Amino acid sequence: MKVSIIGIGSVGAAVATAVKNTGLVHEIALYDRDNVRSYAAAEDLGHASAFSYDVKITAVNNYRGIRGSDIVVIAAGANQKPGETRTDLLNANAAVISDIVPRVMANVDSKNVTLVIVTNPLDVMVMLAQKISKLPPSRVIGTGTMLDSARLRAILSRQLSVSTQSINAYVLGEHGDSSMINWSSASIGAIDLNTFCRQAKISLPITTRNTIEHRVQNAAYEIIRGRGATWDGIAAAVADLLRCIINDERRILTVSTVAGAGTSALAMSLPRIVGRGGVITTLVPRMTAPEKSALRRSGKIIRKNFDSISG
Ligand code: NAD
């Protein structure tokens, strides 16, 4: 199993470490237009390999080096500076994806490869990468709201004093400011959230839920203010997604992938079964009318942003 990572900045380097630590890949190729950076990362990571799995880690200075990749992760491009939104990166990163995807496609087997998109604004970049690559939408997968859903589960875990592993709760829509929490499908174990709260004598009123939603939507801004960028959470999300694909685990993940065609094509996050073939099935969870309209509003924002770059 060969994985290539394009863009070896804060995120790409952390993704390389997390993917190496899955023990599921035999080779990782690192490409960045800044060769010095990718060579340094490959050296450092190669030394780390001596303490874990034997993985061949190489920095490649052109796209021929990614030949034979089963999965290509794209984490290149501008990141948010303090105060910037993901949408502020739209034009700069559309140019980056338009530069990278044709070069990737010229060096991979289009019948086999899966593209994993990390670059923001995520959903629009998934739409652009799918359009340029002409791959089936099921094999152009954005990490979407996997990270947002993990943030939600982490907050709920503290609030409810129950393991994140027992919390099924999804953030859906855009990986961005218009994401929404699908409270009505949330469950703890097999028990719906409201019933759980009643039985555990925990109060989760609408004001608390709104605060939680605000914290989830603003988590990246807080981390960027303190650390300059975010990388650990997204790296763990990518490694988890790759594990699910490589092992054909068929877990339900809130990834972003294109659905529909022509002017109604749209990528956003919904719960989807993911396995060897990429996205296998998209599921539509229970939603209240206000949740449905929040999801529709999120979709419209993504589509409008995509239209603005497609001219
Ligand atoms: P960074 O600035 O640290 O690294 C970006 C790297 O991309 C640089 O090394 C740069 O040389 C490289 N690059 C730029 N254009 C390139 C090109 N055309 N070809 C090859 N390499 C190129 O940024 P970062 O913090 O690693 O973030 C990378 C991207 O990931 C950003 O768009 C950021 O917003 C996004 N991100 C997404 C999520 C998510 O949940 N999807 C989370 C965090 C960050």
Q: Is 176 in the pocket of ligand 1 (CB under 6 A)?
A: no
Amino acid at 230: T
3-state secondary structure of 155: helix
Tokens of 59: 């920095």
Low-confidence stretches of the chain (pLDDT beneath 70): 311
Is 8:37 a contact under the CB 8 Å cutoff?
yes
Instruction: Please tell me the total number of residues recorded for the chain in this structure.
Output: 311
Specify whether the CB–CB gap between 59 and 28 falls below 8 A.
Answer: no
* pLDDT, position 311: 62
How far does Cα 78 stand from its chain's mean position? 16
Ligand 1, residue 143: give the atom nearest the CA. 41
Inter-residue contact 57 to 20 (CB < 8 Å) = yes
pLDDT recorded at residue 54: 87
Q: Are 78 and 89 in contact (CB under 8 A)?
A: yes
Q: Is 238 in the pocket of ligand 1 (CB under 6 A)?
A: no
Distance 120 CA to ligand 1 centre (A): 8
Q: What is the pLDDT of residue 95?
A: 97
Model's pTM, two decimal places?
0.97
- Ligand 1 pocket check for 33: Cβ under 6 Å: yes
Q: Is 26 a catalytic residue?
A: no
Instruction: Fold for 2-143, please state it.
Output: Rossmann fold (3.40.50)
> How many whole angstroms from 18 Cα to the centroid of ligand 1?
16
Residue 82: the pLDDT is 87
| pLDDT at residue number 83 | 85
307 lines ligand 1 (CB under 6 A): no
Atom of ligand 1 nearest to the CA of 122: 41
Cα–Cα distances in Å, from 87 out to 13, 63, 175, 217?
23, 28, 10, 14
Counting ligand 1 atoms within 8 A of each CB, the residue from 37, 62, 118 with the most, and so the one to mutate, is: 118
- Residue 52: the pLDDT is 86
